[in-house]
Chain A
């Protein structure tokens, strides 16, 4: 397709009038129309079309709970809280930027200074019932601690299930095995992190 066809704003260029018969006026005309349509075999064309599709057996069903359609890599679904690659602790530093930027006001976090004078996140919830999945929280996060994962099914019997931090957090065993999916961006682990970083002595 050439550029001219796109730049041509005369959108009516390929329109054509559908050949519509005159509307029947008298009863005799209506009768003739019916006879014509009945004899033209339109009904049998319809029958043939569905029969053809049945014989071809070209099924388009996705048996949903068992098989799922692939989802785009940039799809913004339920949040995932990442862990640090080296130590397996939560990556979130409790800066509160995500809570500030959230336009639907669904992120809520509580922090405190722990006994080592480090900031600690005591409570972190995302109300998925209110979340509009705009992606601002993931974009603003300086540590890449909150990202959008590919899990798009939100069903539960209770609303409370939509805010659980533990559900979003990468399971610790997955993090230890290095199965956490990493996303490129500021704060992300570099590709050769395995070779470069030594684990803390406690991990041995």
Chain B
């Protein structure tokens, strides 16, 4: 392996880590502002112009807060659980092409850390491992609310993994490749997956719904359902350990927005500047939609959530896959 490749990959890893950690901070600011505007409030306004320095203030607070490990917890597991959440979120970034390739000072940069030929499977797998963060954190916390939250989280994540996987099967069958770059090229040639095929549209909607459960966002915010089980698995966490859960959640939202935009909405298209901007716009829209639904929609009950998953979404996804198979045959 030549040295330039290693250095380039390391640089890309550092850039992705830095950019998306920062984006997680901006995400919280953005979320607070959008929610406030939708509820006719102003949101953070005191720290800096329009509260912009609130991100820095939050960061300083999280980093300097006392790190409390309560008595009775399973120490090592309690300490490693937030790292799992954040790490898996960032590991999933390895196979995502964030932008089209561009040339910088005569050197062609591929903004993807590793173009593995099982990209989408890898992302699904790593995101599934992300379940262990809430699960272990909740079970190690020595707190019944955390335990309930962990059990709920496991049930939700596992259930909606099924829908996610089945929804992704349709574009996989149509395109016949697991690499996200191939997804992009196919859609650049044949139109966006979500609109070129009716099955693609259905699986797009299914994946979108499942993405809410995967990231634990509001209509399916049952992992840490504030009004039922305090803060869920994060109840006993403080300071930067809690912050890592937070970064993991927001990074996850960004990454799943990228996956949705690349798999179903054409990605960066033909790779021009307009295509790159288009991808960023799509991702921004999906991220904004996460916040939008949080302002507009109520949480569902856990039984409704499981009912929706197993009795509505999963049959729909299976039927969708079968129809796609029949169409592909002829």
B residues less than 8 Å from A49 (CB atoms)? 296
Closest residue of A by beta carbon distance from B308: A34
Given known pairs A34-B312, A63-B45, the reply for A58 and B296 (CB within 8 Å) is no
A43 near B: Cβ within 8 Å? Answer: yes
B5 near A: Cβ within 8 Å? Answer: no
Expressed in whole angstroms, the minimum distance between the Cβ of B209 and any Cβ of chain A is: 11
The 9 A-B pairs of least Cβ separation, nearest first, read A50-B38, A46-B296, A61-B42, A50-B295, A50-B296, A54-B37, A54-B38, A47-B296, A60-B40
User: Quick one: which of A46, A47, A51, A60 contacts B41, CB cutoff 8 A?
Assistant: A60
* Cα A54 to Cα B38 with chains together (Å): 5
On whether the beta carbons of B292 and A47 are closer than 8 Å, the reply is yes
* 17 additional contacts (CB under 8 A) given A51-B38, A59-B40: A34-B312, A43-B297, A46-B296, A47-B293, A47-B296, A50-B38, A50-B39, A50-B292, A50-B295, A50-B296, A53-B37, A54-B34, A54-B37, A57-B37, A59-B41, A61-B41, A61-B42
Expressed in whole angstroms, the minimum distance between the Cβ of B306 and any Cβ of chain A is: 14
| Contact indicator per residue, chain A 41-77, by CB within 8 Å of chain B (1) or not (0) | 0010011011101100111110100000000000000
Q: What is the number of contacts between chain A and chain B, taking CB atoms within 8 Å?
A: 40
Given known pairs A34-B312, A63-B45, the reply for A53 and B40 (CB within 8 Å) is yes
Closest residue of A by beta carbon distance from B294: A50
* Cα A59 to Cα B33 with chains together (Å): 12
B residues less than 8 Å from A46 (CB atoms)? 296-297
B residues less than 8 Å from A43 (CB atoms)? 296-297
A residues less than 8 Å from B296 (CB atoms)? 43, 46-47, 49-50
**Chain A residues touching B, majority SS:** helix
Given known pairs A34-B312, A54-B34, the reply for A59 and B295 (CB within 8 Å) is no
**Chain B residues touching A, majority SS:** helix
A residues less than 8 Å from B311 (CB atoms)? 31
| Contact indicator per residue, chain A 139-165, by CB within 8 Å of chain B (1) or not (0) | 000000000000000000000000000
* Cα A155 to Cα B184 with chains together (Å): 60
* A-B contact list, 26 entries, CB within 8 Å: A31-B311, A34-B312, A43-B296, A43-B297, A46-B296, A47-B293, A47-B296, A47-B297, A49-B296, A50-B38, A50-B39, A50-B296, A51-B38, A53-B37, A53-B38, A53-B39, A54-B34, A54-B38, A57-B37, A58-B40, A59-B41, A60-B40, A60-B41, A61-B36, A61-B41, A61-B42
* Cα A61 to Cα B297 with chains together (Å): 23
* Cα A54 to Cα B291 with chains together (Å): 12
Q: Which A residues, 4 to 49, have Cβ-Cβ distances below 8 Å to chain B?
A: 31, 34, 43, 46-47, 49
Closest residue of B by beta carbon distance from A46: B296
A residues less than 8 Å from B295 (CB atoms)? 50
Expressed in whole angstroms, the minimum distance between the Cβ of A125 and any Cβ of chain B is: 35
Q: Which B residues, 278 to 311, have Cβ-Cβ distances below 8 Å to chain A?
A: 292-293, 295-297, 311
A residues less than 8 Å from B297 (CB atoms)? 43, 46-47
A residues less than 8 Å from B292 (CB atoms)? 47, 50-51
* Cα A59 to Cα B292 with chains together (Å): 17
| Contact indicator per residue, chain A 170-202, by CB within 8 Å of chain B (1) or not (0) | 000000000000000000000000000000000
Q: Which B residues, 17 to 41, have Cβ-Cβ distances below 8 Å to chain A?
A: 34, 36-41
A residues less than 8 Å from B293 (CB atoms)? 47
* Cα A59 to Cα B45 with chains together (Å): 13
* Cα A59 to Cα B40 with chains together (Å): 5
* Cα A49 to Cα B292 with chains together (Å): 11
Expressed in whole angstroms, the minimum distance between the Cβ of A140 and any Cβ of chain B is: 43
Expressed in whole angstroms, the minimum distance between the Cβ of B201 and any Cβ of chain A is: 16
* Cα A50 to Cα B295 with chains together (Å): 7
* Cα A34 to Cα B315 with chains together (Å): 15
* Cα A51 to Cα B37 with chains together (Å): 9
A residues less than 8 Å from B45 (CB atoms)? 61, 63
Expressed in whole angstroms, the minimum distance between the Cβ of B266 and any Cβ of chain A is: 23
